[in-house]
Chains A and B, each alone.
Chain A
Amino acid sequence: MTELVVINSQTHLNLRVSPHPSSATAGMNAVSVIPMELPRLLAHYPVFFLKSQESGRFEPVALLGFNEGENLFYANGRWEVDYVPLQIQRHPFSLVRRQELVGAAAALDLAIDMSSPQIRTDEGERLFSADGTATKFLEDRASMMQALVTGSNEAFNFAGKLAEFGLLESVQIKVEFVDRSEKKLQGLYWIATAALQKLTAAQLVELRDRKYLEWLYFQMASLAHVSGLVARKNRLISGVAR
């Protein structure tokens, strides 16, 4: 159970937070990503689109594994590549809606999950200096949370526009591993290259002006990492030290 508490300099003066993802937050095989991080994701992860369980709207996700809860980038408490998707990096922080008087603009407060194993008292990053001012670490996390809120909207709008232009198509990824076992990944979508060729000039301009054109090419290029993901799984199956 999460135990979200709004952060303040008195209560959390001596609190320390480990910046390394725990197995609980890393244990997923697909994570929502935001457009801003696409250039960095492109170095390691295949990015697809899938439908949000909550709204059915399309969103970009980085694929981390083949089975539910399987994250092939995380082993022995360590993330194996140098970029961790923001949605995982952000833990144990969250934004919570501030209880305000009726009519006041909705504001969000930075909160921390006190039940997270990343909460420490012995080691890790401090949130506040001894004089109670926020550390750079805390400031970075706060702006990361803001970026996620904005970025999540951008991600849905981006994918929604691609769907509107008929650019998304359902894809079934079938992979075979070294031990001859097979896995079919369903519910994934990617850019239909044929549809891309049929865009009108006006649609292309719209995609360019919204920066969507750039983003969609990042996404398409990222698919080369599917084979890398299979290789990770194969190494795991054959027990090769990573």
Chain B
Amino acid sequence: MLAARFPNRGPDGISVTLIESRLQPPIGVGEGTWPTIRSTLKQIGVSETDFLRECDASFKQGSKFVGWLNGTDAYYHPFTLPIDYIDRNLAPYWLEGPRTANFADSLCFQTRLCDRSLAPKLITTPEYAGVANYAYHLDAGKFAPFLQKHCVEKLGVTHVLDEIVSVDCDADGSILQLRTKSGTPLPGDLFVDCSGFAALLIGKHCNVPFIPCKDTLFIDKALAVQVSYDSEDAPIASITLSTAQSAGWIWDIGLTTRRGVGYVYSSNHTTEEAAANELRSYLGGRDISYRSININSGYRREFWVGNCVAVGLSAGFLEPLEASAIVMAELSAKSIGELLPGFRSGLPQAARIFNEMFQHRWQRIVEFLKLHYVLSRRTEPFWIDNRQAVPDYWRQHSPWHEDFSHREEVFSAASFQYVLYGMGFEPEPLPWLLNEADRIRAREKMAETARHAANLQAGLPTNRDLLGRIRKYGLQKI
């Protein structure tokens, strides 16, 4: 993203070098994205057709949470905003009733597309455009090399395969150059630490402490498997399916070629063996060979120090409940590009703004992830330990724009509404805050949502059908 933003590679331009380790294998999970990925890919000049084909990617239109409230329930957190969301908050009018359908179904047409594994667009819809908001599920093992190739071939990024062995810095701690195993020192003005959990620069060199949040988010382990589809024409789900288990939850992501499934759980509440059994039974009892991954939930106290800034897992990591990892990397790269000063003397100010912004973002994500758990009435110890009172404020007020005043909040009021009301949260009746004109409008908009959903159900192809056509014919750019 930085290379695309600053395309001048001349002597007075910016050059970008990617140092990739041969020893650090990619983590290989994290296959869900947020709709920001579409503008990111478009901006860096990737063709959506190439991306879908080469990364076995499929369309993701949100998440579906199954069994989180009591084991028999399900609700959606779709990517499309509730109807009328820009102008009016209709949630209080849905709460007031009569409730003819659940919250998301009443105010968002997209859930009905997800019910039928439909695509968010047609073969005639141009690249990156959609009739419903969408992101992707992708094969992380293919996405990284795909991006790397694009960056080197199209964006003029220099790619170095080497191991970083030490860091040379000046008196005030700024990084001058990296020393590598092959012996060639790599000097630079700004060093972006994308070294993953190793956090070679931000952690080992800059000694920025890691703030764990295990006391809030209990998940610390993941068992990941890849499974094939039952048949060649099995539906490809339009959502990340998150199914509650005794000590965590199972993600289920459908790519074009396979599913990626994993159980993230709290090791304080279950054993690996018991967790593997739950995963096995989720998969219908089939034999599985899983990979076990540690999740150290938390983030750095600071992300940008001197001329070093951490992006990706080196900055922090949380359970993949709302696919926040890739979106945080995108937001980081975007902010670095926007804040990048023309001279070194501007770095401290850029770092200050960046750190403030991202401390806020990480805090809000932790808070939002926790919100998924606190209302559960499940009775296993993991869920009982997670139970918490919802902030009183939400009892007296429906989440709205002003509550999320930061520019580019990762999760907006819409997300809070989908989760709170999806989990059956019942705020106080507040008739004195409602009015008749909006009440009538809400009724009209709910009817409009139902009509729109029915029209799209009749007109949209399934994910599998559309992805097959894209493989064969491609999408047009216009």
Please report A residues at the B interface, Cβ cutoff 8 Å.
51-58, 163, 168-170, 187, 189
Contacts and interface: CB of A to CB of B under 8 A. Distances in A.
Contacts of A168: 478
B334 interface: no
Contacts of A163: 476-478
A56 B478 contact: no
Nearest to B477: A163
A53 B478 contact: no
Contacts of A187: 124
Interface residues of B, number: 12
Contact of A54 (B123, B474, B475, B478): B123
B473 interface: yes
Contacts of B475: 56
A156 to B, nearest CB: 10
A56 B473 contact: yes
6 contacts: A51-B476, A54-B469, A56-B469, A57-B473, A58-B476, A189-B478
B123 A53 contact: yes
B99 interface: no
A53 B477 CA distance: 16
Interface string B87-110: 000000000000000000000000
A-B residue pairs, 5 tightest by C-beta: A56-B123, A55-B473, A51-B124, A56-B124, A57-B473
B477 to A, nearest CB: 7
A40 to B, nearest CB: 28
A169 B478 CA distance: 7
Contacts of B123: 51, 53-56
B286 interface: no
Contacts of B122: 56
Contacts of B124: 51-53, 56, 187
A168 B477 CA distance: 10
Interface of B: 122-125, 469, 472-478
A138 B123 CA distance: 37
A54 B470 CA distance: 11
A48 B244 CA distance: 53
A57 B472 CA distance: 11
A156 B62 CA distance: 35
A84 to B, nearest CB: 27
Given A55-B473, A56-B476, A57-B476, 14 more contacts: A51-B123, A51-B124, A52-B124, A53-B124, A54-B469, A55-B123, A55-B469, A56-B122, A56-B123, A56-B124, A56-B473, A56-B474, A168-B478, A187-B124
A53 B473 CA distance: 12
Contacts of A170: 478
Contacts of A56: 122-125, 469, 473-476
Nearest to B472: A55
Nearest to A50: B124
A197 B287 CA distance: 62
A187 B129 CA distance: 14
B97 to A, nearest CB: 39
A164 B125 CA distance: 17
Nearest to A192: B478
Contacts of A189: 478
A163 B473 CA distance: 14
Contacts of B472: 55
Nearest to B123: A56
B366 to A, nearest CB: 42
Nearest to B475: A56
Contacts of B469: 54-56
Contacts of A58: 476
Nearest to A51: B124
A189 B126 CA distance: 13
Nearest to A169: B478
A21 B56 CA distance: 46
Contacts of A52: 124
